[in-house]
Amino acid sequence: MTSRRIAYQGEPGANSDMVCQRHYPDWETLPCASFEDVFAAVSGGDADLAMIPIDNSIAGRVADIHHFLPTSGLHIVAEHFLRIQFSLLGVPGASLDTIRTVHSHVHALGQCRKIIKQHGLRTVISGDTAGAAREIAEAGDVTQAAISPPLAATIYGLDVLASDIEDEDHNTTRFVVLSRDPVRAASGNGPVVTSFVFNVRNLPAALYKALGGFATNGVNMTKLESYMVDGTFTGATQFLAEVDGHPDDVPLVRALEELAFFTTDVTMLGVYPADPFRASTS
């Protein structure tokens, strides 16, 4: 039997790796150097699914992902939330007194500002959190540390100098799972999220009119983010939206019909089960 593969951006031990192992424990993981490589792995058939971080409760949206999604040809089939925990890692012999620089992904550095300031550390940006741990292990320098998930300490043979160093205990990242083929969640079988992108003309009240149907039909919109199209400040604007509900539900059917009147394009990205984490935090 051929092993199923799920791709993620980063190196073994990264948060994306952790969420893959938690929700797809029997799948082979495929680490990729960049998000573009992850999308290409699924599009080209090297992987069946992709695990992509899309939002963080502290840092906000993950750069570039929203630009890749609409043109990728891939479909969101699931979502998962991961409580983010970071540790300060160093080589054996390192301590909080010896370290001078700290390596990590730019988002992780931004989520652990307190300990960085407390110890007067100089930050060095790495491609991802687990890669930062590997860099520290390879350097063998007691003055360098990494901010990484705890799993990375075991993988790369590092000591944990401090645990749970994230600034906020609500630090959570939302991941979406992407597939080549659309897999639409069934209607009437629990809470569903519908994600889509649309363009409106650059006209007064165009967005107001486009969204009016969601309000009048009682559809809860949980996300609305705007992006420039083709790098222009004066042309049409693209929006990524997410709503509670299924496109077969009458209220959402009506809301989408109204949306179509005021937009130039509506593209469905996915209709997928809402992660139980949403209910626990509502």
Q: Which residues are catalytic?
A: 173, 175
Enumerate helices (H) and strands (E) in the chain, giving the number of each.
10, 15
Beta bridge partners of 196: 241, 268
Q: Terminal CA-to-CA distance of the chain, rounded, Å?
A: 42
The answer to whether 10 and 131 have CB atoms below 8 angstroms apart is yes
Tokens describing residue 263: 């937009």
| 49 close to 24: Cβ distance less than 8 angstroms | yes
User: 211-216: long-range contacts at Cβ-Cβ below 8 A with a sequence spacing of 24 or more?
Assistant: 211/259, 212/258, 213/254, 213/255, 213/256, 213/257, 213/258, 213/259, 214/243, 214/255, 214/259, 216/255, 216/258
- Map residue 225 onto helix, strand or coil: strand
